[in-house]
A = this chain, B = another copy of it.
Amino acid sequence: MLESLRGRDVISILDFTRGELEGLFEAADSAWKLIEYRPLRGRLVALAFFEPSTRTRMSFESAVKRLGGDTLVVTGEEAISVAKGENLADTIRMLDAYSDAIVIRHRFEGAALYAAEIAEAPVINGGDGRQHHPTQAMIDLYTITKLFGGVDGLTIGVLGDLRYGRAASSFLLGLTLFKPKMVYLISPPQLRPREEVLEELSVRGLRFKEAGLMEVLAELDVLYVTRIQRERFPDPSEYERVRGSYRVTLDMLEGRAKKGLKVLHPLPKVDEIDPRVDESPFQAYFIQARLGVPLRMALLAGVLGGDGVWS
């Protein structure tokens, strides 16, 4: 199954079939066994984080090193100073010369695809622009699969910034590869998904509806929360007014939600989830964070691994 991953670029969650994702999830289930086998021994993965993200960077770094490989890290300002004057193409060629695979994070839409066109080595999108963060979507879908045995038939709410947040956007696109019963989009009007995303969801036959949180909370199996950033609101008083309606509290969950509801969040979270939820059975975001390592191990082993890694 994972042989189809070998040498592949990973740009969008829609580059994958449902079957490939399911194969990946299965591989992730036994990823820890790979620690002994060390399939990335002698291999180098460049982590080029033009936009800093400690969490995603460390998760990838952990995955590479658990597999016996090593990393070449360029982050933040240093990465920007590479590019100072030098064009992105030359920077990518440099990374390509020094490593066997490139994970790239960039604030510009399309940066990962552009890198993939230039580099001979496989390129993995660690998040670019507003739409794509495919490995996060894989982790989200994998977490749901672990918790519920699959994604089909579930009722899923996606809450927060659905317009600028690439995690939410990728997750929604990823859901189109499965058959959830219903997906509720829960966001302030300013932060509704962009038209092209809504259209893609429709074209791909996803059953979804825009809704308010309290309206649908009782129906949900999964509540996927993302942060609403103050900076998205030109008028601070508007932010203050809106924010309370998109905060998830323990009282709210205990009062209205199904007992088996699971709350996901790509993290880091700030105050959009009541810290009391952390200790409750609703919490699934720390589990989700932990599953990021085996999922990325499985992906990297699939993309980079030699013969026999998965056979």
Interface residues of A (CB under 8 A from B): 35-36, 38, 42, 44, 46, 52, 54-55, 58-59, 61-62, 65-66, 68, 70, 72, 74-76, 78-79, 81-82, 85-87, 89-91, 93-95, 97-99, 267-270, 275, 278, 286, 289-290, 292-293
Q: Which of chain B's residues has its CB closest to A42's CB?
A: B35
Most buried by B among A62, A74, A93: A62
Q: Verify B36–A54 contact, CB threshold 8 A.
A: no
A88 to B93 CA separation, bound complex (whole angstroms)? 35
Most buried by B among A42, A82, A97, A275: A97
Q: A300 CB to closest chain B CB, in angstroms?
A: 15
Q: A72 CB to closest chain B CB, in angstroms?
A: 5
A113 to B12 CA separation, bound complex (whole angstroms)? 41
What is the predominant secondary structure among interface residues of chain A facing chain B?
helix
Q: With A52-B81, A99-B62 in contact, do A289 and B94 touch (Cβ < 8 Å)? A: yes
A146 to B62 CA separation, bound complex (whole angstroms)? 37
A52 to B79 CA separation, bound complex (whole angstroms)? 11
Q: Which of chain B's residues has its CB closest to A78's CB?
A: B54
Q: Verify B66–A42 contact, CB threshold 8 A.
A: yes
Q: Verify A74–B58 contact, CB threshold 8 A.
A: yes
Q: A143 CB to closest chain B CB, in angstroms?
A: 13
- Hey, which chain B residues are within 8 Å of A81, CB to CB? 52, 54
Offer 23 A-B interface pairs, CB within 8 angstroms, sorted by A: A38-B42, A44-B62, A44-B66, A52-B81, A54-B74, A54-B78, A54-B79, A59-B97, A61-B98, A62-B99, A65-B70, A65-B72, A76-B78, A86-B269, A86-B270, A87-B275, A90-B267, A90-B268, A93-B286, A94-B267, A94-B289, A97-B293, A98-B293
Out of B68, B70, B79, name the residue touching A42 (CB < 8 Å).
B68
- Hey, which chain B residues are within 8 Å of A68, CB to CB? 42
Q: Which of chain B's residues has its CB closest to A91's CB?
A: B268
Out of B70, B76, B97, name the residue touching A292 (CB < 8 Å).
B97
A81 to B77 CA separation, bound complex (whole angstroms)? 13
- Hey, which chain B residues are within 8 Å of A75, CB to CB? 78
- Hey, which chain B residues are within 8 Å of A54, CB to CB? 74, 78-79, 81-82, 94
Q: Verify A97–B42 contact, CB threshold 8 A.
A: no
Q: Verify B93–A289 contact, CB threshold 8 A.
A: yes
Q: A54 CB to closest chain B CB, in angstroms?
A: 5
A81 to B90 CA separation, bound complex (whole angstroms)? 29
Out of B82, B99, B293, name the residue touching A55 (CB < 8 Å).
B82
Q: A295 CB to closest chain B CB, in angstroms?
A: 12
Q: With A59-B98, A78-B75, A98-B59 in contact, do A90 and B269 touch (Cβ < 8 Å)? A: yes
